[in-house]
Amino acid sequence: MPSHEADVEDGLKHSFSYTVPAGKTVPHLYEESPELAEMPEVFATGFMVGLMEWTCVQLLRPHLDPGEGSLGVHIDVSHKAATPVGFAITVDAECIEVRGPRAKFAVRAHDGIDEIGSGTHERFIVSWDRFNKSVAAKAAKANAKVEA
């Protein structure tokens, strides 16, 4: 069982800044979607969620044991304002609760003009070896169904 629990605690904070390129706008979220291709070139909600997750991963990383990582298991955020290409977005994350291998974060994103998003995000700390074995077993089941 992972021994990270002594290292991950409430109150840990991290900030990360990222400049929005054209490729992280709504039309590029699913490039095969003609509906999304017609939309304005502003930072996409899906990419904002990913940026919030990335910030939480960065916050956790120095507190994990070798061979451990984290998986996003819950997200509850609002996207409140549009952000054009070229703006720098800063995400602030704070660990607000730890329950065993589960860590919960308050997240907030700001583009220098507006708070563009906020909410909570939860991550589950895992052993990569154990997780990868589970995914391989699932893939094997799917392959067995195809062959049957």
Residues assigned a catalytic role: 45, 53, 79
How far is 8 from 134, CA to CA, in rounded Å? 25
Distances 132 to 9, 44, 90 between C-alpha atoms, Å: 26, 30, 32
Distances 109 to 23, 55, 106, 122 between C-alpha atoms, Å: 19, 10, 10, 16
Q: Nearest Cα to 79, choosing from 65, 68, 66, 89?
A: 89
Q: Are the C-beta atoms of residues 91 and 109 closer than 8 Å to each other?
A: yes
Q: What angle do CA 123, 124, 130 make, to 5 degrees?
A: 145
